[in-house]
Amino acid sequence: MQQGASLAAEVADAMRKRGVTGEVVTVEATAADDVATLVIAAARAFGADLLVMGTHGRKGFQRLILGSIAEQCLRQATIPVLLIPSAAGGDATAKSADAA
């Protein structure tokens, strides 16, 4: 519970620094819970129009063994899902400024 609160505070701070408005929501889960189902249920309860998720971009055997929560969400969601690969990295505001 403490780890979730700490992570939520970090995310809220990062959002604030980038001028992103929104609400950070944490969900209590057990080891038996399916993370993709929890994410989709939280998005539904929030009334989300779009689900944005980061991905590790694993391929081949690694993906087969480790699976992908983002992929499961993509397959199960009834709303659009935007997947952003970790390779995108960096600061979006810096990239936007460089492109201008």
Same domain membership, residue 43 and residue 25: no
Same domain membership, residue 43 and residue 78: yes
Structure-token match 């994410």, residue found: 39
For residue 18, being part of any structural domain is answered with: yes
Portion of the chain with pLDDT greater than 90, in percent = 38
For residue 23, being part of any structural domain is answered with: yes
For residue 94, being part of any structural domain is answered with: no
Helices (H), 1-91: 2-17, 35-46, 60-66, 69-76
For residue 58, being part of any structural domain is answered with: yes
Portion of the chain with pLDDT greater than 70, in percent = 76
Measured CA to CA, the distance from residue 51 to residue 49 in angstroms comes to 7
pTM recorded for the entire structure? 0.67
The pLDDT assigned to 95 comes to 43
CATH label of the domain that carries residue 39 = 3.40.50.620
pLDDT tens digits along 57-67: 666 666 655 56
Same domain membership, residue 72 and residue 83: yes
Domain hosting residue 45, numbered range = 34-89
